[in-house]
Amino acid sequence: MKFTIKLLLIFSIITGCDNLSKNPDITIIDKSINSIIDSEAKIEILVDSLLVSEGPLWDKLNNSLIFTDVAQNKIFKWNSADGVNEYIKPSGYTGYSPAFKDGLSGANGAAFDGTGNLILCQHGDRRLVAVKNEKTENPNFITLVDNYEGKKFNSPNDLAINSSGDIYFTDPPYGFFDLATQTFNNKYKELDFNGVYKLSNKGELSLISKEVSIPNGIALSLDEKYIYVNNSDGESPVIMKFDLSNNSGELFFDGTELSKIYEGGFDGLKVHSSGNIFSTGPNGILIISPSGKLLGTINFGGGITNCNFDSNEEYLYVTAFSYVARIKLKTVNK
């Protein structure tokens, strides 16, 4: 279903007319999310002094949050007992592929495979890899895929893995971003598009789409029949939905009007067990129904990059350029 923000809805967000708690951190637009959103919850900062934190992933076995810092080329681990510590370095650049060493070269998105290994999207090495989930300064990265039809990827960014072990991932050009000039340098770019791909559990790579201008966050629907893909292009701030039976895409959510008012773009996103989509976007986290209706927002402001839940969906963890935060959710029927 296509859904465009109307001026009346924007007015509702600005005034918070349905936000009965008057909590500045949360705006309730549709009361249907009261079953999963605690309207009194407050944003809690866990880690600061980061550069570009990304890839939040809950490690159930170790009761910890794993996250990447793309600019530091490191993976960190946080838990309430020990705080934050370096976990894996390097994370995304080892010299495996031509890349800008001092750019956004670290790992970005992260997920667990069925055996408990970490699957990483590496900006600098421009590949998908598997690595053991353990603290190390000498990681043994196993390449899963590093090219499409003989041409190296741009900089794999985010991924989602289905129950069969198929990996869906995006490949925007952020690894070619020059921090000094704040521009893209295509010196090493081999593909003339930014793609959305599937790597099957048998190792077969297929292109799902090359029509999303800057594909970024990616997530599977609960029934695994669709993927949602965020476009982080400021000229086209939308979420696309792709039918995996035929790879056809349609507009799922249009954030153009919101982007005129609030800072922040479409980066990472995740799907809650309710089926609702939690996506980074203008002014923080947007909570969107499976039909594409905006239900509420968590008001982090701009500069956030990704989000994820812990195993029981007790908290939503959020990464930003300089910090990692969380906010408590309701866990009814968990």
* pLDDT tens digits, one per residue of 98-133: 988 778 999 999 999 999 999 999 999 999 999 999
Rounded to an integer, the average pLDDT of 209-230 is 98
> Looking at the domain assignment, is residue 334 inside a domain?
no
* pLDDT at residue 2, as a whole number: 36
Q: Nearest-CA neighbor of 158 among 103, 113, 106, 109?
A: 109
Pairing relation of β-strands 226-231 and 238-243? Answer: antiparallel
Rounded to an integer, the average pLDDT of 250-277 is 97
Query: How far is it, in rounded angstroms, from Cα 153 to Cα 123?
Result: 9
Q: Is the dihedral of CA 276, 322, 131, 84 positive or negative?
A: negative
> Looking at the domain assignment, is residue 333 inside a domain?
no
* pLDDT at residue 4, as a whole number: 37
pLDDT 10s digits, 138-183: 999 999 999 999 999 999 999 999 999 999 999 999 999 877 778 8
Domain that holds residue 322: 7-328
* pLDDT at residue 178, as a whole number: 79
> Looking at the domain assignment, is residue 257 inside a domain?
yes
> Looking at the domain assignment, is residue 183 inside a domain?
yes
Q: Residue 163 corresponds to which amino acid? A: S
Task: Count structural domains, the chain.
Answer: 1
> Looking at the domain assignment, is residue 206 inside a domain?
yes
Q: Which residue bears the tokens 């919101």?
A: 258
> Looking at the domain assignment, is residue 2 inside a domain?
no
CATH at residue 155: 2.120.10.30
Query: How far is it, in rounded angstroms, from Cα 308 to Cα 273?
Result: 12
Confidence of residue 298 (pLDDT cuts 50, 70, 90): very high
pTM: 0.94
The region of weakest confidence among 11-15, 24-28, 90-94, 187-191 is 11-15
CB atoms within 10 A of CB 48: 12
Query: How far is it, in rounded angstroms, from Cα 207 to Cα 203?
Result: 13
Is residue 185 packed enough to be buried (19+ CB in 10 Å), middle (13-18) or exposed (0-12)? middle
